[in-house]
Structure 1
């Protein structure tokens, strides 16, 4: 039987657009097969690459380092991993220390005679525990750590022969009249009534940074024999109550005013006086501080190794202190301070610190510094020491002061030294 030729309609169906579309859009199981095939090809390719490196890796893993002292063969890969982890940990630790405490900025060049201060205040306000393990209280306010711990007026350290002479505490007192409100200037009216033994070497112990660490401040005015001169931070809390309690325990009062340190990474506290400020702003902040409480004899600087070198800024502050009839005590956080020179120009009462007691919070170091204080007092007839409410300082002073009196020394408030200078002026 003859075969019928295919109809034109069946030929037409093979070439229809519908048949062509079915070739492009495979069913799901076909697409999945294609993906698996591609993945297998990629895996084979990666396997061939791994096969090229695998012998080298196995060879490295098999290497060991012989340690004869221990009788061990240590894998080189393990040693490298340990060193890497150790390096990472050291880097992380260094970064953390820099983040918390800031970089070390006090670098003293051998070719310069400028004495700067190693700041100890953290920009984050961190207080480290005292050596006896007691936890800190409040916000850190410890003074700058001075490289020039002892200032002997006749032997100024680190001052070049060509430098201008440094004004010293033993210089003649001012000849101009002291501004006052009433019969006496305010510093005299607020001065602690005290009579020093005739002819005895006099030592004034000023305790800075008072009022912030409430616990140690309390121990300082309750446990240490009076009279101390206690200088309270302008930004401490409950200043009227704290200062009245200290005065009732027989201590004299001062105001500790925050001033700009030499390092920009250091936080000297709120409302710190800055050299970049205009005169009006400096006056405003200085008066804010002096309005915080009453009964103090004068002002001394907290930090301020940069600020006290600036003549314009210091003149503005000292003029405001002078208007109130108060005295100024220069903490000497820089050997280039202009405070004494400007105070003399203004004719206002001013003194300078001789010895920092507790840059190192260790009883033996505090005792060594007190030996320097006694040496200067016997040499010149007077000396001013500055300490802080720290454990070592409190414990040492509790026993040192009674023994110093037995040796013929007079422990006096700082106003007594100012009175003695004025007496020498009048003959």
Structure 2
């Protein structure tokens, strides 16, 4: 039959093509079923062999958090690997790995611990330039080593208590401290470490937004309890990976002409009044590792007034950070006697609001870290400070300094 839809003069050509295809078809070739069966059998055998001989992950392979959950221990999935961008609500691109990094041979026959390299399927997200893209948490049996970034904005239910001042931090029933639960993990590699604490977050909406947009996640942020929208800012800061502190207003020299504001802890106040004001400050946000003084030069020199404050901080499992303006060696000795985790800044960055002066202070911190192994600086959320610190931090990491949360340097 002619093909009525074929172009003029091509009906015979289609018929001939069809006959040639029929001649080349498998049915027209003797022995084809046997050949086909042999080929299929061979391919199947190779597949089975490959399956049996496939590589398997060693028992020490890192464990990657694959699901967001309020409880850190329950969110660990043994032997699973998942890209960070598959986790609901993860907008950081940070891969959190539990377990020891694999040992890699170093020169001289020794071994050197290596941080796992980021996989190409994990996006960088908002990660600071020059830093590690993997956060390694070394002890898979210890739940007190920091929250996975995916759930870092959620309070640990076991580490808070309801009170008239709001949700207050407490040690968990198994002894874990908020200082550890909300700490920013670090490489544990030693070397030259620098912590930077930027305070005054929450007081200015514009300034707070600028700080969160510009500062690398390794920078510790201190929130003022007198600020606005603190819960929202806290959640955003924790999602980005920042460690947090609460600034507590304390009596300075020259008080009340120099006034830190409402709820200030003072030298002559009753013990219970100071504790109530401290708890008010602690109840304004959650998910922080400790407190930092706001002013407080006079209070810090009064042991009788500071002792119940420090004791409360320690009993709640928090750290005390002295920003360098409130107390010195004497306060450190008092904290040690009370077994309170304590650390003081080596330098105040922005006493002079000049970029060159701030850079000089940061260079001073680098020199201190070269000698002692670590250094700490404090500053405020001024635009000039934020911009200078952000630029410096990314460059410092390329020079071999590790920027860490302040809790990692607390003793």
- What secondary structure does 1:376 align onto? helix
Select the residue among 172, 178, 187 that pairs with 2:179.
187
Q: Determine if the alignment matches structure 1 residue 233 to structure 2 residue 224.
A: yes
Provide the aligned length of Structure 1 versus Structure 2: 240
Q: Determine if the alignment matches structure 1 residue 307 to structure 2 residue 294.
A: no
2:213 aligned partner? 222
- What secondary structure does 1:293 align onto? coil
- What secondary structure does 2:377 align onto? strand
1:334 Cα deviation from its structure 2 partner: 4.5
Q: Cα RMSD over matched residues?
A: 1.5
Residues 96-129 of structure 1: per-residue CA shift (max 9 Å, x gap) = xxxxxxxxxxxxxxxxxxxxxxxxxxxxxxxxxx
Structure 1, unaligned runs of 5 or more: 1-178, 422-427
* Alpha-carbon distance between aligned partners in 1 of 2:253 and 2:294, rounded to the nearest angstrom: 12
1:209 aligned partner? 200
1:229 Cα deviation from its structure 2 partner: 0.7
Q: Determine if the alignment matches structure 1 residue 390 to structure 2 residue 382.
A: yes
Select the residue among 308, 311, 328 that pairs with 1:316.
308
- What secondary structure does 1:202 align onto? strand
- Bigger CA drift: 324-333 or 296-305? 324-333
- Structure 2 contact 217–240 (Cα < 8 Å) conserved: yes
1:309 Cα deviation from its structure 2 partner: 0.5
**1:135-154 matched pairs, under 5 angstroms:** none
Select the residue among 394, 398, 401 that pairs with 1:406.
398
**1:54-65 matched pairs, under 5 angstroms:** none
Q: Determine if the alignment matches structure 1 residue 200 to structure 2 residue 172.
A: no
Q: Determine if the alignment matches structure 1 residue 284 to structure 2 residue 276.
A: yes
Flag the 1:399–1:325 CA change in 2: closer, same or farther, 3 A.
same
* Alpha-carbon distance between aligned partners in 1 of 2:206 and 2:181, rounded to the nearest angstrom: 29
* Alpha-carbon distance between aligned partners in 2 of 1:261 and 1:271, rounded to the nearest angstrom: 13
* Alpha-carbon distance between aligned partners in 1 of 2:315 and 2:261, rounded to the nearest angstrom: 25
**1:72-221 matched pairs, under 5 angstroms:** 180-183=171-174, 184-196=176-188, 198-221=189-212
Flag the 1:286–1:338 CA change in 2: closer, same or farther, 3 A.
farther
* Alpha-carbon distance between aligned partners in 2 of 1:412 and 1:359, rounded to the nearest angstrom: 23
Structure number with higher helix proportion: 1
* Alpha-carbon distance between aligned partners in 2 of 1:299 and 1:332, rounded to the nearest angstrom: 13
After TM superposition, where is structure 1 displaced by more than 6 Å over at least 4 residues in a row? none
* Alpha-carbon distance between aligned partners in 1 of 2:270 and 2:392, rounded to the nearest angstrom: 45
* Alpha-carbon distance between aligned partners in 2 of 1:334 and 1:324, rounded to the nearest angstrom: 21
1:371 aligned partner? 363
Select the residue among 267, 281, 303 that pairs with 1:275.
267
- Bigger CA drift: 294-303 or 389-398? 389-398
- What secondary structure does 1:267 align onto? coil
1:256 aligned partner? 247
Give the structure with higher Rg (CA). Answer: 1
Residues 373-395 of structure 1: per-residue CA shift (max 9 Å, x gap) = 10111110001100111121122
* Alpha-carbon distance between aligned partners in 2 of 1:319 and 1:227, rounded to the nearest angstrom: 28
* Alpha-carbon distance between aligned partners in 2 of 1:411 and 1:204, rounded to the nearest angstrom: 6
- Structure 1 contact 187–325 (Cα < 8 Å) conserved: yes
Q: Determine if the alignment matches structure 1 residue 361 to structure 2 residue 358.
A: no
1:405 Cα deviation from its structure 2 partner: 0.8
Larger RCO (CA under 8 A, 6+ residues apart):
1
1:199 Cα deviation from its structure 2 partner: 3.5
Structure 2, unaligned runs of 5 or more: 1-169
* Alpha-carbon distance between aligned partners in 2 of 1:352 and 1:229, rounded to the nearest angstrom: 14
1:337 Cα deviation from its structure 2 partner: 6.2
* Alpha-carbon distance between aligned partners in 2 of 1:365 and 1:400, rounded to the nearest angstrom: 13
* Alpha-carbon distance between aligned partners in 1 of 2:392 and 2:173, rounded to the nearest angstrom: 39
